Amino acid sequence: MVQERTVPVFHAADASITKEEGALLYEDMVLGRFFEDKCAEMYYRGKMFGFVHLYNGQEAVSTGVLKAMRPGEDYVCSTYRDHVHALSVGVPARHVMAELFGKQTGCSKGRGGSMHLFSAERRLLGGYAFIGEGIPVATGAAFQSKYRREVMGDEQADQVTAAFFGDGTTNNGQFFECLNMAALWKLPILFVVENNKWAIGMAHERSTAQPEIYRKASVFGMAGVEVDGMDVLAVRTVAQEAIARARAGEGPTLIECLTYRFRGHSLADPDELRSKAEKELWFARDPIKKFSAYLIEQNLAMPEDLNAIDQKIQAIVDDAVQFALDSPEPSSNELYRYVFAED
């Protein structure tokens, strides 16, 4: 069994949220969970094809970071596990589901599929099938924000970029090269490591000489922080601090979120390498159950309020499936469209 690392303790008294904020965070996490559960159902029913990597268990990371950013203004780069990131930045569930079905109404016009979600409107700069691909893109997005503000004099160019990637990616060259550039130029970027302990079938502790990823930031004189990735309020607090630093021109932050995926690497993975004891240990720390209990204990929501949100989200997900089923396939007449940029 993979050894569990001790994570920082985050006390409820440290958080300060309103009922409205609590409902927003809960709703976003539930949307991610219900959407992914429906994806699994549709995949096994033959409605989706190719590789599909689900996000179950990691919802507190997406919600905690992205709901602390400015929707439609700040930039985001994802990975092949990108569905929930897309939902958190505001891409409609209909358009995400339609993309997974390969339909013309999908957010990538049916050309991208599960691993290549994109939205110019929501400034989602893509999901990427190969690990580490999104990090240089995110670094470039952060550089252009800084350049427009400091060189071109655009005072409105204070956007922050978030780059998401997994623990396995932190052994790749792009990771180190981009951290170096971001620190050197004090770019407004968050490098968010979703450390779910496994890189496909390779346990994290077996593949790196320094398993505490956040410590790698110190090599570049960069702020590095470790956070309980199963606690949405802890992630949100860390993200808010890092975003404020970035917007103030104080440079990047490496955020290591200790989390866990509740399903196999992909829906084609029988998930036989992880022990039952390890999985049960992390299932008991379900971020949604943890947060719902917190909301009730702090009198920020009643059980019936959360049940109403669950029903609302289930209706949204069911509607997304029907929309995808009813949507047209991409036309063969547009086979070569979007290959090159259009005027």
pLDDT value at residue 339: 85
Give me the pLDDT at residue 337, please: 87
pLDDT of residue 14: 61
pLDDT of 126 strictly over 60: yes
Average pLDDT, rounded, for the chain: 94
At residue 124 the predicted structure's pLDDT band, cuts being 50, 70 and 90, is very high
Contact 100, 325 (CB under 8 A): no
Would you say 82 and 88 are in contact if contact means Cβ atoms under 8 Å apart? no
> Is residue 343 one of the residues assigned to a domain?
no
Q: What is the pLDDT of residues 163-175, one digit of tens each?
A: 999 999 999 999 9
| DSSP 8-state class, residue 10 | -
**Does residue 339 lie in a domain region?**
no
pLDDT reported for residue 336: 86
In-domain check, residue 335: no
Residue 303 scores a pLDDT above 50: yes
Q: What is the mean pLDDT of residues 39-63?
A: 96
Query: Helix H segments across the chain?
Result: 19-44, 59-66, 83-88, 93-100, 134-150, 173-185, 204-207, 232-247, 276-283, 287-297, 303-326
> Looking at the predicted structure, is the pLDDT value of residue 285 above 60?
yes
| pLDDT tens figures, 169-203 | 999 999 999 999 999 999 999 999 999 999 999 99
DSSP string, 71-137: TTTSEEE--SS-HHHHHHTT--HHHHHHHHTT-TTSTTTTSS-TT---BTTTTB----SSTTTHHHH
Separation of alpha carbons 102 and 250, rounded Å: 42
Calculate Rg over the CA atoms of the chain.
19
pLDDT of residue 149: 96
Residue 13: pLDDT band (50, 70, 90) is very low
pLDDT of residue 61: 98
**How does residue 4 score in pLDDT terms, banded at 50, 70 and 90?**
low
State the pLDDT confidence band at 261, using cuts at 50, 70 and 90.
very high
Residue 44 pLDDT: 95
pTM score, two decimals? 0.94
Q: Which residues contact 327 (CB under 8 A, 6 or more apart)?
A: 98, 101, 103, 104, 105, 106
List, for residues 80-117, the tens digit of each pLDDT value.
Answer: 999 999 999 999 999 999 999 999 999 999 999 999 99
292 φ, ψ (degrees, to nearest 5): -65, -40
Residue 330 lies in a domain: no
Question: In which band, very low, low, confident or very high, does the pLDDT at 12 lie, cut at 50, 70 and 90?
Answer: very low
Alpha carbon 61 to chain centroid distance? 6
Residue in the block written with tokens 């979120």: 257
The pLDDT value given to residue 42: 97
- Domain total of the chain: 1
Per-residue pLDDT tens for 327-337? 999 998 888 88
For residue 66, what are the domain limits? 12-323
The H or E element that residue 335 is part of is none
- CB-based contact 205:3 (threshold 8 Å): yes
List the 223-228 sheet strands across, edge first.
75-77, 161-166, 189-195, 253-258, 223-228
Q: Provide the b/e sequence for 37-60 (b: ≥16 CB within 10 Å).
A: ebbeebbeeebbeebbbbbbbbbb
Give the pLDDT confidence score for residue 5 in this predicted structure. 57
The gap from C-alpha 254 to its chain's centroid, in whole angstroms, comes to: 15
Quickly state the pLDDT bin for 3 (edges 50, 70, 90).
Answer: very low
Q: Which of 212, 194, 214 is nearest to 131 (CA)?
A: 194
Q: Report d(CA 115, CA 55) in Å as an integer.
A: 12
- Residue 190 Cα distances to 123, 236, 309, angstroms: 15, 13, 30
* 5 part of a folded domain: no
Q: When comparing pLDDT for 341 and 182, which is higher?
A: 182
| Structural domain contains residue 328 | no
Q: What is the pLDDT of residues 319-329, one digit of tens each?
A: 999 999 999 99
CATH number for the domain harbouring residue 60: 3.40.50.970
Check residue 267 and give its pLDDT. 95
DSSP 169: G
Mean pLDDT of 215-243: 97
Residue 340 lies in a domain: no
In whole angstroms, what is the distance from residue 194 CA to residue 64 CA?
A: 12
With respect to residue 172, please indicate whether it lies within any of the assigned structural domains: yes
Strand partners, 164: 192
